[in-house]
Amino acid sequence: MNILANKKSHSEYPVTNTQWKIIDYSLNGYLESLNLKGYNNGHRWGIFEGINHSYLRFRYKSDIKYQAEMLNDRLTRMDPWHRKFKCFPPDKVGSNLYQYYCFRNDDIKIDVNVIVTTVNQQKVYCVDIVH
């Protein structure tokens, strides 16, 4: 009997942190479209291949709400279900399940962070874009 077959998928849990929205699009394709430094340089090709659902959050450095969040980074460290990310900068220590990837596009001045968390021991990818 497959134990994971009986566990709920991340999409079966309602998102309680409204900063995050689920996207049904290839994560690899989305990140490639952003022309990110450190992503399209050969060693990253395909790292997110086959990931067709992820969560997306946009934050703006000029936004007062963003600045307040950075002072009280409790909100920035929360996943779509208001759980604290287990791997988040500056403590970027990862594991097999929890990871953190940093990319940048200097032309449009965005930082793109892919934070990997889990739901029922299944990886969930969260894309945090800071402009």
Q: Would you say residue 118 has pLDDT above 80?
A: yes
**What pTM was estimated for this model as a whole?**
0.82
Name the amino acid, one letter, at 70.
M
Q: Report the greatest alpha carbon distance in the chain.
A: 51
Q: Decide which of 50 and 70 is more confident.
A: 50
Task: Tell me the Cα Rg of the chain.
Answer: 15
Which is nearest to 28 in space by CA: 45, 8, 7, 11? 45
pLDDT digit string, tens, across residues 53-86: 999 998 887 766 656 665 556 667 889 999 988 8
For the chain, the structural domain boundaries read 18-130
pLDDT digit string, tens, across residues 13-25: 899 998 999 999 9
